[in-house]
Amino acid sequence: MADDGSDTPPVLATDLDVRVVRQDDLGFRAAAARNLGARCARGRRLVFVDADCVPTPGFLRAMDEGSALVVGHRQHLDMDGWSRAELLSAFEGSPVFLAGPAWLRHGYDETDDLRRADDASFRFVISAALSAPTDLFWELGGFDADLVGYGGEDWDLGHRWWTAGLDLLHRPEAQVWHHGPDLPGRREDWAHVKNAETAALASRIPHPVIRGSGSPVVHRIPRTAVQLDLAGCTAGQALLSVEDWLTAGDVAVFVGDADVPGAFVDDPRVRRGSITDDVRARSLVWFRATGSVRSATGHGLAGRADPALGVPAADGAAPVAWVTGRAANAAVRSREPVPWRSLPRDSWRTISPGVLVEQERSR
């Protein structure tokens, strides 16, 4: 049991082998508390249950599923004043549950209990009842302990799990009974709480549902990461190529060993070196390209990542290629080639080495 700085340490009246581990009260730190408990746990799989939830018979068995991040099913029930005997009796009966969140039920229905998850399905991961293989949980860094305040740590982990090429799964039969209603039924300021959660996640999850579309804010973690090879490019080619990539919005351009072109030295979106590990863990789309090409339409090549576009590209063979972060990370994990796809030839054009930048911009 992990205690997030309670004034009075919890005392467990049980003969089971249970340890209580505690951390100082430095705010609402559910992510750090869960990591603390996970570090002290032993076993091939970690199962997280909130303190206001009661697992029902068969819960643990149903939460064990290979490499998937498994989400249990939370039912809401008024158990105020119940004794242990009343609780055990309810397991055999038919309790009357309170209404649960309709958006969550709809999400599970639409994705076949996350078997058809997509890059927005992290919203259906709830840590009130969650299970993960121990080795993969720590490989991905566990919960983000820097998150302080209600919520968000489960969506963040779900996003990283999906982007790592791993699966999500909802198990309806793995039920926990949550004491009382969902957040809107127990807090008048629930909208403020949820909006604060979204704000905290904006720097971590590069999805429009969290960041919005067309936001001018520059985040360290972009939706799209571009590895741009500027070797042998003239200053004009480099300037126009980088400029083109940035027009597509939530993008970061990594220029390898080359110097950042002078026009972008103060732009945090243009970075020296290779795509970093933290970006690889969270970005939804990766590109690789030579610095001598730009969009044929002027709308930015970074907006052209579409599964219907392009064909598989041999490593290093295409001037412009893309891959989803999920597919790339899955390939790296399985030690297979990254499944790059080349963009169609009519989507890009070559920039002349002797280009005059102002004339090119006026075209």
CATH assignment at residue 122: 3.90.550.10
* 80-132 pLDDT tens trace: 999 989 999 999 999 999 999 999 999 999 999 999 999 999 999 999 999 99
Regarding whether 188 and 258 lie in a shared domain, the answer is no
φ, ψ (nearest 5 deg) of residue 285: -135, 140
Regarding whether 237 and 355 lie in a shared domain, the answer is yes
The pLDDT value given to residue 9: 84
Regarding whether 206 and 277 lie in a shared domain, the answer is no
Regarding whether 249 and 199 lie in a shared domain, the answer is no
Q: Has residue 141 got a pLDDT over 90?
A: yes
Range 337-361 average pLDDT: 89
The pLDDT value given to residue 136: 97
Regarding whether 295 and 154 lie in a shared domain, the answer is no
φ, ψ (nearest 5 deg) of residue 135: -65, -40
Regarding whether 7 and 126 lie in a shared domain, the answer is yes
Domain end residue (candidates: 156, 182, 211):
211
Regarding whether 228 and 202 lie in a shared domain, the answer is no
Q: What angle do CA 266, 210, 136 make, to 5 degrees?
A: 95
Rounded to whole angstroms, the Cα distance separating 182 from 74 reads: 10
Regarding whether 324 and 301 lie in a shared domain, the answer is yes
The pLDDT value given to residue 316: 55
Regarding whether 49 and 180 lie in a shared domain, the answer is yes
Contacts (Cβ under 8 Å, ≥6 apart) of 144: 31, 153, 156, 157, 204
Rounded to whole angstroms, the Cα distance separating 224 from 322 reads: 10
* 154-195 pLDDT tens trace: 999 999 999 999 999 999 999 999 999 988 888 878 899 889
> Does 218 reside within a domain?
no
> Does 184 reside within a domain?
yes
Regarding whether 171 and 57 lie in a shared domain, the answer is yes
High-pLDDT (> 70) share of the chain, %: 95
φ, ψ (nearest 5 deg) of residue 328: -65, -45
* 276-320 pLDDT tens trace: 999 999 999 999 999 999 888 766 677 666 655 556 665 556 889
Regarding whether 44 and 138 lie in a shared domain, the answer is yes
Rounded to whole angstroms, the Cα distance separating 320 from 313 reads: 9
The pLDDT value given to residue 315: 55
Q: What's the domain count of the chain?
A: 2
Domain that holds residue 326: 224-361
Regarding whether 187 and 42 lie in a shared domain, the answer is yes
